[in-house]
Amino acid sequence: MNRPTLKLNSILPWLMCFAAFVGLSKSALATVNENLAYTYYQVNVDSASSLRKALNAASPFKSNGRIFHGHTDWHISWHFWWDERPDGRCSIKRVSVEFTSTIGLPQLISATIAQQNQFNTYVAALRTHELGHVNVGKSAAYAIDQAIFNLPEMASCSSLGAAANDVGNRMLSDYQAREIRYDAETEHGKTQGAWLDR
């Protein structure tokens, strides 16, 4: 008796395309919208003064008795939609996460050439440090997006909604703690070059 043979190599491309399509369709239902903005405060440096002193005087970023020359704020909000079955069981249909961030940096208005060169090196390192804060927040946004989207089906939509918000808030707290560790590990940017001796 002749048995039919299956040519795997002939259907493998189709299977791969189908898998890619399924993956794309699923990921398209979970999205993160990102927005990054910059704000600047002006700094004037007298030729007889130090860059650090001028930045300390001009910076609007003060907390717990400390002055910071750069600052990052980020905010995450999430929305989700579900499918409810006739028996009341509920599953996540779509997720949308909004991630907005703002970096505040100094802008040098007047200075000597030497001070300008010192500022350029310093502010580049400061921007790198602040972008690290943005990346922590961005990672949180994507983690929340996927965690909510991958929640299992639940007995009711009210249970599912509560679970979605619980997991979102829990992950948000976790990444806020990571941001505190990031500042501790980098000494608020010092290990990344964002430091002025004078």
Q: What is the spatial distance between Cα 16 and Cα 62, in angstroms, rounded to a whole number?
A: 55
pLDDT at 177: 98
At 53-110, the pLDDT tens digits run 999 999 999 999 999 999 999 999 999 999 999 999 999 999 999 999 999 999 999 9
**% of the chain beyond a pLDDT of 70:** 85
Decide if 127 contacts 194 (C-beta within 8 A): no
The rounded percent of the chain whose pLDDT value lies above 90 is 82
Domain ranges for the chain: 32-192
Residue 111: is its pLDDT beyond 50? yes
Q: What is the pTM of this model?
A: 0.82
- Average pLDDT score, the chain: 88
**Of 98, 52, 84, nearest in space to 159 by CA:** 84
